[in-house]
């Protein structure tokens, strides 16, 4: 079994917190129980010395955590429904539902889009450097819905991947967000990197990678807006972090502050109204609505579009009704 060593330095200004709680927030797929077991076995050290689970972390401490990494199994076909919008000999366009992980990874080897496609596409998918990601050119977050392009052969994989790297892909996202905007159109430009306080999250950082997002308002409601967005870069959680940094988090986003009332009144009636919307939309209201690129065989530009998913449609309809009442 392989082992990965994680080194974490407690950031300056870190508030008092037990090390097991701190590490559970820092390490992906780590629960507090798993962290406590590792600590009991003496695996977790600070400056080379084993610690106890109730140790209070202090700024500047260097924590070392060895993680056993079992060899990944082969991605296996699974009979899972998948919405294929378009397919030819070289590629597939899929409308990924919310709640579906794009490809298998450590701690999540089944139930993914790749597992579903391997079952439905008998001819197979393009090989990649990662055997868990056959055909995958780009990803969508688990709870982001919408269009993805999947490559069925090596030529298509490299041809489309190049367009992503050169930023010539046309992609438009629609989102319901908290707040309204001073202007109908705008650009958010802020570098992004791993959050220093929680490694599972991204954050605006001066030392991060450049990131640019353009937005345009479609409709405005009471304390919320429906907008469309275009990415000029493709950073992890880019749209969600950029909007949150502007104090307009994506509605329903549990990670970046979208599941509490950010704008508008907090009367019992409105709280009940918002709670109803959140119950119908248990994820961030973000959908990859369109995608366009040069086809690897036809050498001409192709364009695909999909409707908003039912959960976002419900929220928009209720917000429109509220606007007119």
d(CA 38, CA 21): 13
Q: Exactly one of 74, 79, 127, 141 is catalytic; name it.
A: 141
d(CA 175, CA 253): 11
d(CA 85, CA 100): 17
Nearest to 157 by CA among 122, 113, 130, 125: 125
DSSP symbols for 220-268: E-SSEEEEEEEESS--TTHHHHHHHHTT-PBTT-TTTT-SS--SS---H
d(CA 50, CA 44): 6
**The total number of residues written for the chain in this structure:** 325
For residue 63, what are the contacts with CB-CB under 8 A and spacing of at least 6? 7, 8, 9, 10, 19, 23, 44, 45, 46, 57
Contact 60, 46 (CB under 8 A): no
Q: Are strands 212-220 and 185-189 parallel, antiparallel or unpaired?
A: antiparallel
Q: Which two tokens stand for residue 40?
A: 């009991």
Assess whether 127 carries a catalytic annotation.
Answer: no
Task: Provide the annotated active-site residues.
Answer: 141
């Amino acid at each position: 079994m392989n082992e990965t060593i994680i080194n974490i330095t407690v950031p300056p200004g870190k508030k008092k917190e037990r090390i097991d709680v701190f590490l559970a927030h820092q390490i992906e797929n780590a629960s507090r129980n798993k962290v406590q077991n590792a600590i009991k076995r003496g695996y977790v050290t600070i400056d080379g010395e084993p610690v106890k689970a109730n140790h209070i972390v202090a700024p500047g401490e260097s924590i070392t955590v060895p993680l056993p990494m079992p060899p990944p199994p082969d991605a296996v076909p699974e009979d899972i429904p998948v919405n294929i919008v378009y397919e030819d000999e070289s590629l597939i366009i899929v409308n990924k539902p919310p709640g579906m992980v794009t490809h298998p990874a450590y701690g999540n080897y089944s139930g993914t889009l790749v597992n579903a496609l391997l079952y439905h596409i008998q001819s197979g998918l393009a090989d990649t450097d990662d055997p868990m990601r056959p055909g995958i050119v780009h990803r969508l977050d688990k709870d982001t819905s919408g269009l993805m392009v999947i490559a069925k052969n090596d030529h298509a994989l490299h041809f489309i991947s190049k367009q992503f790297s050169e930023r010539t892909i046309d992609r438009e996202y629609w989102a319901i967000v908290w707040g309204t905007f001073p202007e109908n159109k705008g650009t958010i430009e802020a570098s992004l990197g791993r959050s220093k306080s929680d490694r599972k999250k991204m954050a605006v950082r001066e030392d991060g990678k450049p990131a640019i997002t353009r937005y345009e308002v479609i409709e405005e409601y009471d304390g919320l807006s429906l907008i469309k967005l275009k990415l000029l870069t493709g950073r992890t959680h880019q749209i969600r972090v950029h909007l949150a940094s502007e104090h307009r988090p994506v509605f329903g986003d549990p990670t970046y502050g979208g599941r509490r009332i950010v704008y508008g009144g907090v009367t019992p009636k409105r709280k009940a109204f918002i709670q109803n919307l959140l119950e119908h939309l248990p994820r961030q209201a973000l959908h990859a609505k369109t995608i366009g690129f040069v086809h690897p065989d036809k050498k001409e530009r192709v364009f695909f579009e999909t409707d908003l998913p039912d959960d976002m449609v419900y929220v928009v309809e209720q917000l429109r009704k509220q606007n007119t009442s």
